[in-house]
Amino acid sequence: MALEVGIVGLPNVGKSTIFNALTAAGALAANYPFATIEPNVGIVAVPDGRLKLIEQFIKTDKIVPAAVRVVDIAGIVRGASTGEGLGNKFLTHIREVDAILHVVRCFAGGDIIHVEGSVDPVRDIDTIDTELALADLETVSGSLEKSDRLARSGDKDAILKSDILRRAKAHLNDGKPVRQLDFTPEELKIVRSLGLITAKRVLYVANVDESDLHGQGPLVQVVRDRAKPEGGIVVPVCGKLEAELSELSEDDRKEMLESMGLTEPALATLTREAYRLLERHSFFTAGPIEIRAWEIPIGATAPQAAGVIHTDFERAFIRAEIYTIDDLVKYKTEQAIKAAGKMRAEGKSYVMHDGDITHFLHGA
């Protein structure tokens, strides 16, 4: 199943416009089984020019890119953590996603009045961060009481968990997200089990107007400054323009982009950055039936990658035969790659690289 990102933001910042444009763009991907699963859930293809490059040398019936599920979460308002607006419903949705796309309005004017009466990206980010921190604080406080009771009996896991919860509580009380804390791999497993919203990675989507497509204006810059302490990524997107582009045919879209000095829609950049935010990359399988990008965690081994295709492949893994796109471009065919000694046989300890083209050999 594709990993899931949730789009959050105050009401009327362009969140749903960007969601609709993203999911419409996903439907345009060639041979991709796009689906809107629910009114607020869609599957978006991860743009990857390497798939077309592979097809130049290996003819195929279809191309299937990797994908990310995107959830449009209801606009968050002040007091949401205590039940204002959709309250607990939005909290449940955010807890279920793997990462967050936080849409921030970075343009003045327009027909839609900002819910706060003025445009101030940092204030908007702080409003949402506060609501999410308050929700996490309630979770942490409840868990800490239970964990402390177990810790008093000498339970080592409970002692470690209590320490983590205490650090998280102090950080949240200071109005800071849990993702800013440093955890060991062991501690991180416990943090993930808690379902804390502010522990999730965030990508900031600066919704700009057509006069600032590259996000060079002061409103986007303050978002970058705000995101910097936590290593946050900021992607400028003009929701209005992306909505228009998503409704055009491929040729018309290309023509419109060229007229504006752009090579691709900003949503392509956004989708790729969301993929990286989730610490994922792709390996490829290529043959006459399909060329496909498979999503795997960075650091996955060859057997784990095989298991993404089918669980039996991981269990019965023998070896992986791997070559690179550079090899394919240079030698033109798999047969020539083998003849040149560039087809590598890799075993169970091999860590997959982004862009590996792979054949898995497995037992019965």
DSSP state of 301: B
Give the right CATH number for 299-362 from 3.40.50.450, 3.90.199.10, 2.60.120.260, 3.10.20.30: 3.10.20.30
Tell me what pLDDT residue 35 has.
40
* Longest Cα separation, the chain: 69
* Global confidence as pTM: 0.85
Tell me what pLDDT residue 28 has.
40
Tens digits of residue pLDDT in 158-209: 899 999 999 999 999 988 899 989 999 899 999 988 889 999 999 999 999 9
Residue for token pair 């949503």: 267
For residues 354 and 364, the answer to whether their CB atoms sit within 8 Å is no
Q: How far apart are CA 196 and CA 91, in angstroms?
A: 10
The structure tokens listed for 179 are: 């993702």
Residue for token pair 């279920």: 96
Q: Which is nearest to 107 in space by CA: 262, 240, 256? A: 240
Tell me what pLDDT residue 230 has.
82
Neighbouring C-beta atoms of residue 214, cutoff 10 Å: 12
Tell me what pLDDT residue 1 has.
55
Average pLDDT per 10 consecutive residues for the chain, totaling 364 residues = 83 87 60 48 90 97 92 69 52 84 88 72 91 90 90 87 94 89 91 91 95 94 92 92 89 92 90 90 97 96 97 96 98 97 97 98 87
Q: How far apart are CA 41 and CA 157, in angstroms?
A: 37
Which residues, other chains included, contact 121 with Cβ-Cβ below 8 Å and sequence gap of 6+?
Answer: 104, 105, 106, 206, 219, 220, 222, 223, 226
Q: Which is nearest to 325 in space by CA: 282, 272, 273? A: 282
Tell me what pLDDT residue 89 has.
59
User: Does 3-277 carry CATH code 3.40.50.300?
Assistant: yes
Sequence spans of domains, the chain = 3-277, 299-362
Q: At 63, which helix (H) or strand (E)? A: strand 62-64
| DSSP E strand boundaries for 131-254 | 201-207, 233-237
